[in-house]
Structure 1
Amino acid sequence: MNPFFLFNKMFLMNRSFLWLLFWINFLGTIYGYIWYGGQLAYTAITEPLWLLVFVPDSPTASLFFTITILFLLYPPSTRYKWITVVRQIVEGLAVVCSVKYGVWAVAIIFAGWFEGAPMYATDFMLIASHLGMAIEVLLYLRFMSVGKAGLLLATGWLLLNDTIDYTYGVYPNLPTQLHDNVSTVKWFTVTLSIISLFISLFVFKFKKRS
């Protein structure tokens, strides 16, 4: 089979394949929230409850993409402006958040290994799943209704999330070996939010050519 077929609209927008992606992302989202369960519980006990929304990053990104798949399967009517606006916001969040946290998780795992963290089988699962997050949203960006405004708004959310994470200490758990490098991780995280926007805008440029 021609490998470029995997980028073909007929393949990507096939309803059976979309449903497969939906369930993979849906179950991955649930697993992600379970993964954050301990940190969510600790935050609920020790911090103001409004901080909880800023704790789980990757599963929230995959949740946005899961909803985006439903929009692709069942495009909502454009007669109602508010539905269009909601869709564009969700899709914008799906794109930049999935790119950012997909790359971030992989980079942190490799940084931990470089600093001497042990390799676990779950690390390789996390690398594959998070790379998949970043790749799938970029592949599907051309089929979304999101515009530049939605991508910019979503990046604003990312920067707010970064600010909350490293101001209140609710950033994702890091390998022990990186605990002395939180400041470096913080600035890498903020920089990656901006880079994710530019990657998304670059792919967006080719949206109308598909």
Structure 2
Amino acid sequence: MSLIYTYLADRRFLLLLLFINIVGTLYGYYWYESQLVVTPTIFIPFVPDSPTASLFFVFVVAAFLLRTNWPLFEALAIITLFKYGIWAVVMNFLSLAVIGDIGWQGYMLIGSHAAMAIQGILYAPFYKMKLWHVLVAAAWTLHNDVIDYVFMQYPKYPGLEIYIKEIGYFTFWLSVIGIAIAMYYARRFKHGNQLQLY
């Protein structure tokens, strides 16, 4: 096991990562509060995209600490962390270009979401997801795109509504790339060549 994976597998680091992701998830749901209070109940599970992605990873890390794997959460996490991590970075830079200022929170979101996209992939060698887990996660992810850009429940960024068609198209392809990444790792470790955390 290379040095980086030795650190990633350290239980102290996993506990820190769990704490950071729990805090980030709670903050993310708080960030969505104003949109959630006006969202029809049926759509609520599909609106807070980024915090739900980090919540999936909370379950992944919790499983590691319990010395097991929850492969469906691994598939959901790797796809959605990549997708919404990259998505939020791009949206915040687009907001900066359109309105000229995103404040400290915007830069904090850029950093935290970039880390989101990276962490899901960094832990991929420890995952035990199979192709069917990826297919279920893919269905969730693409269904979420339909909710966001057909039923118009997408995350609201001031000034970006005029680009919503382009954003929807971009988001769809982020989903496709995220699914492809998950399929790559599911096939790469098909015969049990994963690294072990415990």
Pairing of 1:38-53 with structure 2 (within 5 A): 38-43=34-39, 47=40, 49-53=41-45
Counterpart of 2:13 (choices 17, 29, 32) is 17
* 1:209 Cα deviation after fit: 6.4
1:59 corresponding residue in structure 2: 51
* 1:203 Cα deviation after fit: 4.4
Tell whether the 8 Å contact from 2:75 to 2:182 is kept in structure 1 after alignment: no
| Pairing 1:175–2:158 present | yes
2:167 corresponding residue in structure 1: 185
Gaps of 5+ in 1: 77-83
1:79 corresponding residue in structure 2: none
* 1:204 Cα deviation after fit: 4.6
Tell whether the 8 Å contact from 1:103 to 1:134 is kept in structure 2 after alignment: yes
Tell whether the 8 Å contact from 2:18 to 2:58 is kept in structure 1 after alignment: yes
- Count of residues paired in the alignment: 191
* 1:75 Cα deviation after fit: 3.0
Specify which structure has the higher proportion of helix: 1
| Pairing 1:37–2:29 present | no
1:162 corresponding residue in structure 2: 145
Code of the aligned partner of 2:21: N
Code of the aligned partner of 2:150: T
2:113 corresponding residue in structure 1: 130
1:81 corresponding residue in structure 2: none
* 1:111 Cα deviation after fit: 1.7
| Pairing 1:200–2:182 present | yes
* 1:21 Cα deviation after fit: 0.3
Q: Structure 1: how far apart are the matches of 2:92 and 2:112?
A: 13
Q: Give TM-score scaled by structure 2 length.
A: 0.89
- Look up the SS of the partner of 1:42 in the other structure: coil
Tell whether the 8 Å contact from 2:81 to 2:116 is kept in structure 1 after alignment: yes
Runs of at least 4 residues off by over 4 Å? 203-207
Tell whether the 8 Å contact from 2:95 to 2:102 is kept in structure 1 after alignment: no
Q: 1:70 to 1:28 in 2, by over 3 A?
A: same
Q: Give TM-score scaled by structure 1 length.
A: 0.85
Gaps of 5+ in 2: none
Q: 1:72 to 1:193 in 2, by over 3 A?
A: same
Q: Structure 2: how far apart are the matches of 1:110 and 1:141?
A: 28
Tell whether the 8 Å contact from 2:85 to 2:117 is kept in structure 1 after alignment: yes
